[in-house]
Structure 1
């Protein structure tokens, strides 16, 4: 259900971007993001073991995925999230039967609270990007990419906590080392990219981006170590480019995506010369977005064009 998502060339994007773009569509599943590739592994292991209770911190998509995977296996799932997370994501977590606890801060504060809950209650903590299962889930995307025809020159990957980038990156570098692995992060949430460039953990005091799914302030050292092994580059993009990328995916691919999923297109828009004449894959990693905000960002009146 979550494997073998569509991968297809989107010819309509080529004139505006100056390169051939193939889309890996990770929104074509019940939770509309790639996260369930990892939570399916986690939930299967928990269902066959002792404790049936699990907690995670989430910007929204991991929580939905864990709730979905846990519901089908009778697990007790608690998700800790920021009360400022998109209402659509929070509502879906509740609808999937998870206990939702909200904190009055950002994702990194939710991470602290989830760790406290796991410690106090003696239950399994799922930490996105650090737990190997979350990276293994993302790695299956890499396997599907390298098996594809025709081959491609570069893969553009949204960079947040790092599970997607390290999971896909490890596979691509092992099986198709000539492919350039390029991570993309918003200028308003640059901690992991700065860390990659300086080869040490760099934290930020705050974030300021519409791409809530990648808006972390404190990179995990072990994840950075992994990223340094597999990524060729990490770039930062402006908010205007993210919104333009979302609009291009709507206009030319018929896709309503969340901001994180448009980071790859934004990277091409900001550096057309780098990608000119190449075949690039961009991973459309999530489609959970509040429609009112979406309409503001892409400049589409509600009820028209989407």
Structure 2
């Protein structure tokens, strides 16, 4: 079924087999053309909406696969907020013990929702990389499953089911813009498109204030950064995972960086032209078009709205004229 030249860790047969294991509440998300948004951007824009589910992000597709084989066990993860909510939801429905480690500087709305979903939340006085280290330490000391987003194949292949739905939508498109953080969604969706729709250009988008994986892709070697400065907390990592970079080098046609002001402008356009309240990470695709309109002019572009867990006070400030 797959194409042997697409040599990554991911497997199209496993991705197709994953769908029956994922709760239907995360599947079949809307994908439609948004004419008002396209008119403002100078191209045709299709919006794949991954926010109309209990955790308001695409992460539940992956956590459903993770918990499928963990009957009666416990699991820990580090999260900027969305993965933690998804794991709490998926694990809680199956009676699993879920621990989430996050930065105490994470979006408060995300942290509150993790607690509300029943997970044990531990906060660290540092960024997401410190949370990753603490989660690994808990897993080792307690002898429980460590879920590592983007490294664990379930997170990538769960996200890849978005790609299956894009291909099956019947809406042809020339390029897909994918928010790039840890890389699960980019590698997953990109894998499916390279195998089933190889003519589609796969463009990953990352904030200029959190550029580590994009810089690594460009240099074809791991590059870490010392600091992060972006409102797009959902994609704010400093240390790329080697296995993810290897996959990304196979499936990504390009990786671009966008400015903070473009992310804010993208959020405003999605609110004004599509009626969508999104978190900054979900506006990266629109930001990419805003920064390079000639590249996308007249083309049919798909962008994945990957999450809407946003502090509403901050959102009102960002989208206000």
Please give the TM-score of this superposition, normalised by the length of structure 1. Answer: 0.96
Q: Does residue 20 of the first structure (1) align with residue 41 of the second (2)? A: no
* Equivalent residue number for residue 5 of structure 1: 29
Displacement of 1:295 in angstroms is 1.4
- Unpaired runs of 5+ residues, structure 2, are 1-24
* Equivalent residue number for residue 240 of structure 1: 261
CA distance, structure 1, for counterparts of residue 109 and residue 220 of structure 2: 36
Please give the TM-score of this superposition, normalised by the length of structure 2. Answer: 0.92
Displacement of 1:149 in angstroms is 1.6
* Equivalent residue number for residue 303 of structure 1: none
Q: Does residue 35 of the first structure (1) align with residue 59 of the second (2)? A: yes
Number of aligned positions between the proteins? 297
201-210 or 38-47: which moved more? 38-47
Q: Deviations over 1:272-299 (max 9, x none)?
A: 0000000000000000001111112222
Displacement of 1:150 in angstroms is 2.3
After superposition, the CA RMSD in angstroms is 0.7
* Equivalent residue number for residue 169 of structure 1: 190
1:287 to 305, 308, 316: 308
2:69 to 45, 57, 79: 45
CA distance, structure 2, for counterparts of residue 298 and residue 241 of structure 1: 12
CA distance, structure 2, for counterparts of residue 109 and residue 296 of structure 1: 29
124-133 or 7-16: which moved more? 7-16
SS of the residue corresponding to residue 48 of structure 2 reads strand
Q: Deviations over 1:146-204 (max 9, x none)?
A: 11222100000000000000000000001101100000000000000000000000000
CA distance, structure 2, for counterparts of residue 250 and residue 150 of structure 1: 23
- Unpaired runs of 5+ residues, structure 1, are 301-306
Displacement of 1:102 in angstroms is 0.2
2:283 to 257, 262, 274: 262
CA distance, structure 2, for counterparts of residue 112 and residue 142 of structure 1: 31
* Equivalent residue number for residue 88 of structure 1: 109
Q: Does residue 137 of the first structure (1) align with residue 185 of the second (2)? A: no
CA distance, structure 2, for counterparts of residue 296 and residue 52 of structure 1: 42
SS of the residue corresponding to residue 26 of structure 2 reads coil
SS of the residue corresponding to residue 46 of structure 1 reads coil
